[in-house]
């Protein structure tokens, strides 16, 4: 067994403050960015142009779209050196319970009325006639693979539409009806089975889970700096339509992995990386973004648990400040912004470092590229190293073993050393790693192993000579020695 404890110099956990800057949008009702969406219109066109940004959703007489439905704000902010002030701090969004017992009496009644209204429409063959096949009455409706009214997950699905319309029954019913009509027009069930290629697998991908169990989806807009990828994705209407279909397919497949049972995790934690993002000046990207946002907000209600923008460019603040007055409080509370310097610690506030990819300051690697000693199932510890201080992590080892560990200091600029100190004071300490200066260009993660044949402790020391607080991540395994190695 191995125990860990930190010395009295252990710094307090990193203060993860959501900072300013931002840009492009994510995908789902509450996912953001770009100008306010125009009002909804007719179904899917054969091609897409800048003037057809809303032709992908069926008409809705109850849509109350505001900029707040498309973009949201941070929960904490710090002072920046720019002349534009960051958004005001506000309380973080608290995801509502999807369990019936936690609803208010009026909400429970509205949910029941919603189900009654749907059943009445099916019984009397009205409202859902567009789903008819061969003139046969519509006997049931389903969405995201869930048969409504015939499955115990119905309540969670219907609550999404009710919350998207502030529990206004008629508006929620219209939204559900319009969504089902759009899904038929877009032929979602066939789309899921299509092979749309893997050109965009580095642009949008799922990786790990946040601390509350939500799957984490990354949107990496900097990939579109690749001119060839940009051209093959956005250069004409046909390519933009294919991109939109690919994005919807990705979302549909992700949604069908969620747990729609009462108390289950049925929302997604969105992260949008704006590093090297083309920005709003790119007309083709702007068109595709606007189309996707309108479509997603109209047809995928309440699927975003949190939206975090990382590596935010300075110019986003101006854009955000301009549209912020149009946003709802609910929308604002879901968004978090982080500058490049604050990206790792902001992510660690919501996602444990073993689930954060290496390129964002974490320890998680792409399993396709290598076979790591550690996986996302191996928890990591986070320690703050104060400026101009030396931090030593002491790990007690109570058995003979092969001791394996890995560590990183985000951004390095520190010295690292490791030694083994036996419990027997007559034995010498063993230097495992002499003091080594680590620069920002060094490998992001160091891995070591050490064969321990007597009881003692491992000391990992980080010397931070800089004026900045540093974040140390580390984790270890104790592998028993085989008899032949004893």
Task: Encode the chain (486 residues) as per-residue pLDDT tens digits.
Answer: 444 444 333 333 333 333 333 333 333 333 333 333 333 333 333 333 333 333 344 444 444 433 333 333 333 333 333 344 444 434 566 788 989 999 999 999 999 999 999 999 999 988 999 998 877 788 899 999 999 999 999 999 999 999 999 999 999 999 999 999 999 999 999 999 999 999 999 999 999 999 999 999 999 989 999 999 999 999 999 999 999 999 999 999 999 999 999 999 999 999 999 999 886 678 888 788 888 888 988 999 999 999 999 998 877 766 667 766 766 677 778 889 999 999 999 999 999 999 999 999 999 986 555 557 899 999 999 999 999 999 999 999 999 999 999 999 999 999 999 999 999 999 999 999 999 999 999 999 999 999 999 999 999 999 999 999 999 999 999 998 876 555
Question: How buried is residue 176: exposed, middle or buried, by Cβ count under 10 Å (0-12/13-18/19+)?
Answer: buried
Cβ atoms of 23 and 267 within 8 Å: the answer is no
Same domain, 332 and 429: no
Residue 210, pLDDT score: 97
Same domain, 426 and 330: no
Domain span at residue 127 reads 17-341
Total length of the chain:
486
Last residue of a domain, one of 341, 356, 387: 341
Q: What is the CATH number of the domain that holds 441?
A: 2.60.120.680
Same domain, 8 and 67: no
Asked whether residue 354 is assigned to any structural domain, the reply reads no
Asked whether residue 349 is assigned to any structural domain, the reply reads no
Asked whether residue 30 is assigned to any structural domain, the reply reads yes
Cβ atoms of 296 and 27 within 8 Å: the answer is yes
Asked whether residue 396 is assigned to any structural domain, the reply reads yes
Both tokens of residue 313? 């460019």
Residue 318, pLDDT score: 67
Asked whether residue 352 is assigned to any structural domain, the reply reads no
Residue 345, pLDDT score: 93
Same domain, 405 and 271: no
Same domain, 149 and 203: yes
Last residue of a domain, one of 341, 357, 383: 341
Same domain, 33 and 8: no
Residue 133, pLDDT score: 82
Asked whether residue 358 is assigned to any structural domain, the reply reads no
Asked whether residue 365 is assigned to any structural domain, the reply reads no
- 335 strand-pairing partners: 307
Residue 313, pLDDT score: 85
Q: pTM score > 0.85 for this model? A: no
Residue 485, pLDDT score: 56
Residue 93, pLDDT score: 67
Same domain, 195 and 322: yes
Residue 278, pLDDT score: 81
Same domain, 119 and 158: yes
Same domain, 95 and 238: yes
Residue 446, pLDDT score: 95
Cα–Cα nearest to 320, from 87, 88, 27, 66: 87
Both tokens of residue 154? 């119905």
Same domain, 131 and 148: yes
Residue 289, pLDDT score: 81
Residue 367, pLDDT score: 54
Q: What is the CATH number of the domain that holds 110?
A: 3.40.525.10
Same domain, 183 and 139: yes
Both tokens of residue 296? 């997603």
Last residue of a domain, one of 317, 341, 365: 341
Asked whether residue 335 is assigned to any structural domain, the reply reads yes
Domain count, the chain: 2
Same domain, 198 and 238: yes
Both tokens of residue 307? 């939206």
């Amino acid at each position: 067994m191995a125990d860990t404890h930190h010395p009295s110099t252990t710094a307090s956990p990193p203060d993860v403050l959501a900072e300013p800057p931002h840009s492009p949008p994510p995908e789902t009702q509450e996912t953001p960015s770009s100008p306010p969406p125009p009002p909804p219109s007719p179904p899917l066109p054969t091609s897409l142009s800048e003037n057809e940004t809303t032709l992908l959703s069926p008409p809705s007489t109850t849509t109350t779209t505001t900029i707040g439905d498309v973009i949201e704000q941070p929960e904490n902010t710090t002072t920046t050196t720019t002349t534009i002030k960051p958004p005001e701090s506000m309380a973080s969004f608290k995801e509502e319970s999807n369990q019936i017992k936690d609803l208010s009496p009026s909400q429970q009644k509205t949910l029941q009325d919603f189900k009654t209204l749907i059943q009445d429409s099916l019984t009397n063959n009205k409202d859902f006639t567009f789903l008819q096949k061969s003139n046969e009455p519509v006997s049931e409706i389903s969405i995201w693979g869930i048969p409504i009214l015939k499955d115990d997950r119905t309540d969670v699905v219907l609550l999404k539409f009710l919350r998207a319309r502030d529990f206004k029954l008629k508006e929620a019913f219209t939204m559900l009806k319009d969504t089902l009509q759009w899904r038929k027009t877009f032929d979602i069930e066939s789309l899921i089975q299509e092979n749309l290629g893997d050109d965009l697998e580095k642009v949008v991908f799922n990786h790990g889970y946040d601390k509350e169990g939500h799957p984490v989806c990354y949107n990496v807009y900097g990939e579109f700096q690749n001119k060839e990828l940009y051209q093959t994705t956005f250069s004409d209407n046909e390519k933009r339509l294919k991109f939109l279909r690919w994005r919807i397919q990705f979302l549909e497949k992700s949604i069908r992995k969620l747990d729609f049972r009462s108390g289950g995790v049925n929302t997604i934690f969105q992260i949008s990386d704006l590093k090297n993002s083309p920005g709003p000046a790119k007309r083709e990207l702007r068109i595709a973004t606007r189309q996707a946002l309108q479509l997603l907000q109209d047809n995928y209600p309440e699927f975003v648990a949190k939206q975090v923008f990382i590596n935010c460019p300075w110019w986003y603040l101006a854009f955000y400040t301009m549209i912020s007055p149009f946003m709802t409080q609910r929308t604002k509370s879901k968004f978090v912004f982080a500058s490049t310097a604050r990206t790792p610690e902001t992510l660690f506030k919501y996602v444990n470092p073993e689930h954060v990819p290496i390129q964002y300051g974490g320890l998680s690697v792409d399993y396709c590229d290598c076979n790591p000693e550690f996986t996302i199932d191996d928890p990591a510890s986070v320690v703050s190293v104060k400026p101009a201080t030396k931090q030593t992590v002491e790990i007690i080892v109570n058995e003979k073993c092969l001791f394996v560990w890995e560590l990183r200091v985000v951004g390095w600029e520190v010295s690292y050393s490791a030694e083994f100190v036996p419990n027997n004071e007559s034995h010498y300490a063993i230097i495992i790693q002499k003091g080594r200066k680590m620069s920002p260009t060094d490998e992001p993660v160091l891995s070591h192993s050490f064969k321990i044949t007597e009881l003692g402790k491992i000391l990992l020391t980080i010397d931070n000579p800089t004026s900045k607080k540093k974040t140390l991540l580390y984790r270890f395994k104790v592998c028993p020695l085989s008899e032949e190695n004893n």
